[in-house]
Amino acid sequence: MIPLHDDNPTSIRPVITIALIILCSLVFLWQVSLGANGFESAIFSLGVIPATLLGDKVLPPELTLLPPALTVVTSMFMHGGWMHLIGNMLFLWIFGNNIEDAMGHVRFVVFYLLCGIGAVFAQALPNIDSTIPMIGASGAISGVLGAYLLLFPHARVLVLIPLGFYSRTLYLPAMAVLGLWFILQLVNSLLADPRAGGVAFGAHIGGFIAGMVLLPLFKRKGVRLFAPSRH
């Protein structure tokens, strides 16, 4: 199930959401420009490695560009492939504008970064010895999804449902789309082997919960939770 659009209008231009999409895209193009070896080196240098962030492991000098604490932020703007980037930016484009509208530009930036930080630690703390780098905006975007669920559960989301050689589109309530997404993250987290790498489902869960917890602190006064659908 792939979200394509929501029917939730905004009252401000989502300049931060657009800026985040542009920044992530530019960073990925920079990664690609480095070639295969440089691409991998950049991931190790600027991604979060739990064993260096929370443990006693140290990167080789040629890969050490920043203190490990700063990679918590740099990792949010890096991606491992085109589909990783496109999927994340699609979710950010659909759901981020409404959260920016509900918070204002400056608060949304802080909220986004805090959700990303929360996501990193949700993934890293249970895997403190892991030397697998973590990258991607999905943890921060998961926080956006958690906030959206609390603010606009009744908003309609147009989704694409692939069914083999056939696919169809239909509108579903945001609570169904995001609720199912979160359940899938929980299930996949239970089934995944954290030592094997792959998708950081723990970061998705941590970011989603962080977004729900932080939302009341960042939304503008007068913005209601569980708002009815707007057309």
Q: Tell me: the pLDDT tens digits for 130-183?
A: 999 999 999 999 999 999 999 999 999 999 998 878 899 999 999 999 999 999
pLDDT given for residue 46 in this prediction: 96
- DSSP, residue by residue, 39-68: HHHHHHHHSB-HHHHTSS----GGG--S-G
Q: Tell me: the pLDDT tens digits for 7-30?
A: 999 999 999 999 999 999 999 999
CA atoms within 13 A on the CB side of 169: 9
Confidence of residue 98 (pLDDT cuts 50, 70, 90): very high
Is 231 a residue whose pLDDT tops 60? no
Q: What mean pLDDT, rounded, does the chain reach?
A: 93
Domain 2-218: assigned CATH number: 1.20.1540.10
Q: Tell me: the pLDDT tens digits for 179-195?
A: 999 999 999 888 877 66
Task: Give the residue extent of every domain in the chain.
Answer: 2-218
Task: Please check whether residue 131 is in contact with residue 55, taking contact to mean a CB–CB distance below 8 angstroms.
Answer: no
